[in-house]
């Protein structure tokens, strides 16, 4: 395997760029900016929490919805996040389909966006219920009362759609993350981190064999293929 890639600058070795990448989470370069962004995001999260408390205390009527348009605000909030999630999947899929070799970092970013957007969308089927404390009735569990989900209800579909989307996105995201986990593993100094990262990679490589992964050259950036499993 060549030590250089066609998409990297000539002077940049693959190990060098892996060093740069792992350096970002390990030796955080922009603490101040991160704190500012995090403060702003936390303020929005706090607003959400206050709104949710208000919602659970008083009921879905606080949205000003009424008969016959009784979803309105509720439905567009969920679909808003699903839309953001779909954008991530679309970016990732288009880059794969066009065979863009440089896609890995962008794909991972897009898929992370998808994952978090789906998590956001996933809380809405709970928030939308008139009696959210019964949300577990939407799962087909063997209840002694004989309660069974109403599969003709779109809110029921939301639950399954979101769970499916979450599972698939998680698999996509994780697959793309393996090379980065490998790069981090190679630079991990603590024994615990080494074991943890190794397990995380082992989990994703299926049989755990050194060879035979057809995906190796496709999903993983070249600098990681070089340092692939040495267990």
Partner 1 sequence: MHATHSPEGLNQMVYNRCIGTRTCSSYCPYKMRRFNFFDYRAPADSPTQAAHNPDVTVRSRGVMEKCTYCVQRIEAAHVTADKESRPLRDGEVVTACQQACPTKAIVFGDIKDPNSEVARLKRDGRHYVLLEELGTRPRTTYLARWRDDGSGSGQG
Residues that bind partner 1 (CB under 8 A): 58-61, 65-68, 70-71, 128-132, 134-135, 137-138, 147, 150, 152-156
Quick one: 33 or 131, whose CB is closer to partner 1? 131
* Locus of tokens 């109403």: 150
Min dist CB 155 to partner 1, Å, is: 4
Quick one: 93 or 129, whose CB is closer to partner 1? 129
Min dist CB 130 to partner 1, Å, is: 2
Largest distance between two CA atoms of the chain: 69
Quick one: 34 or 136, whose CB is closer to partner 1? 136
Quick one: 69 or 97, whose CB is closer to partner 1? 69
CA-to-CA distance for 137 and 156, rounded, in angstroms? 10
Min dist CB 150 to partner 1, Å, is: 5
Min dist CB 84 to partner 1, Å, is: 23
Quick one: 11 or 152, whose CB is closer to partner 1? 152
Min dist CB 214 to partner 1, Å, is: 44
């Amino acid at each position: 395997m060549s030590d250089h890639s066609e998409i990297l600058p000539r002077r940049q070795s693959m190990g060098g760029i892996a060093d740069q990448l792992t350096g970002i989470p390990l030796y955080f370069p922009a603490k101040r900016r991160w704190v500012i962004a995090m403060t702003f995001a936390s303020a929005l999260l706090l607003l959400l929490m206050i709104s949710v408390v208000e919602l659970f205390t008083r009921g879905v009527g606080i949205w000003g919805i009424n008969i016959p348009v009784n979803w309105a605000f509720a439905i567009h909030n969920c679909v808003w996040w699903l839309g953001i999630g779909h954008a991530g999947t679309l970016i990732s899929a288009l880059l794969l389909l066009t065979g863009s070799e440089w896609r890995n970092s962008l794909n991972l970013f897009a898929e992370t966006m998808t994952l978090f957007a789906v998590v956001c969308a996933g809380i809405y089927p709970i928030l939308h219920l008139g009696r959210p404390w019964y949300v577990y009735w939407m799962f087909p569990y063997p209840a002694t009362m004989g309660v069974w989900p109403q599969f003709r209800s779109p809110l029921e579909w939301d639950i399954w759609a979101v769970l499916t989307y979450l599972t698939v996105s998680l698999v996509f995201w994780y697959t793309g993350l393996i090379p980065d986990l490998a790069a981090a593993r190679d630079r991990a100094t603590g024994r615990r981190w080494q074991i943890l990262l190794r397990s995380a990679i082992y989990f994703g490589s299926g049989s755990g064999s050194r060879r035979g992964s057809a995906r190796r050259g496709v999903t993983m950036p070249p600098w990681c293929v070089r340092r692939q499993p040495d267990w």
